[in-house]
């Protein structure tokens, strides 16, 4: 439980620190999101490498996405993804109805506009994990009501 609290505090401070620096002229807001996403990408690569070292090879793309939703998500966020949908043409939607990184600020709709800042790292986490498993993707996130969010993963065919 202490690990989770430390992760939440670290994540909140990373986001706040980058955006605070941007306000003081040391960067742009768009670059903050990119920086958070690239940090998440590197962490995702490392985590997947550790989690899959003793795992059998995955059969297909859907098998990899199921691993991300169950094992990977459980290890990082202490729960599975609530819903995984696909159109069987390379687009997957991962829905988390109580996303841990948004629960602290989900008191009202006034924070809805700030939610994307707190999702950039996780988008990178997913993209980095998939990248290390041989899948090139674009990951975006959307929040319609807090603390629920959806991550859309578009697989890019090489």
Q: What is the 3-state secondary structure (H, E, C) of 23-83?
A: HCCCCCHHHHHHHHHHHHHHHHHHHHHHHCCCCCCCCCHHHHHHHHHHHHHHHHHCCCCCE
In CATH, 4-155 is 3.30.1380.20: yes
Q: What is the pTM of this model?
A: 0.86
Domain ranges of the chain: 4-155
Say if residues 40 and 124 touch (Cβ distance below 8 Å): yes
Q: What is the pLDDT of residue 1?
A: 39
> How would you label 38-51 residue by residue, b for 16+ Cβ within 10 Å and e otherwise?
ebbbebbbebbeeb
Q: How many CB atoms lie within 10 A of CB 101?
A: 20
Report how far residue 11's alpha carbon sits from residue 34's, in angstroms, rounded to the nearest whole number: 15
- Residue pLDDT tens, the chain, 158 long: 357 777 777 777 777 777 777 776 655 556 888 899 999 999 999 999 999 988 888 999 999 999 999 999 999 888 999 999 999 899 999 999 998 888 777 666 666 777 888 899 999 999 999 999 999 999 999 988 888 899 999 999 86
């Amino acid at each position: 439980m202490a690990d989770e609290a430390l992760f939440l505090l670290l994540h909140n401070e990373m986001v706040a620190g980058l955006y605070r620096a941007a306000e003081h002229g040391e960067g742009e807001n768009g670059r903050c999101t990119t920086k958070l996403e690239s940090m998440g990408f590197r962490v995702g690569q490392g985590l997947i490498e550790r989690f899959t070292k003793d795992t059998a090879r995955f059969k297909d793309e859907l098998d990899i996405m199921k691993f991300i939703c169950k094992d990977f998500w459980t290890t990082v966020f202490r729960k599975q993804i609530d819903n995984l949908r696909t159109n069987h043409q390379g687009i997957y939607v991962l829905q988390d109805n109580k996303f841990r990184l948004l629960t602290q600020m989900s008191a009202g709709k006034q924070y809805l506009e700030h939610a994307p800042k707190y999702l950039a790292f996780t988008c990178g986490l997913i993209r980095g994990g998939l990248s290390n498993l041989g899948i090139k993707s674009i990951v975006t996130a959307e929040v319609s009501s807090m603390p629920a969010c959806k991550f859309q993963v578009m697989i890019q065919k090489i």
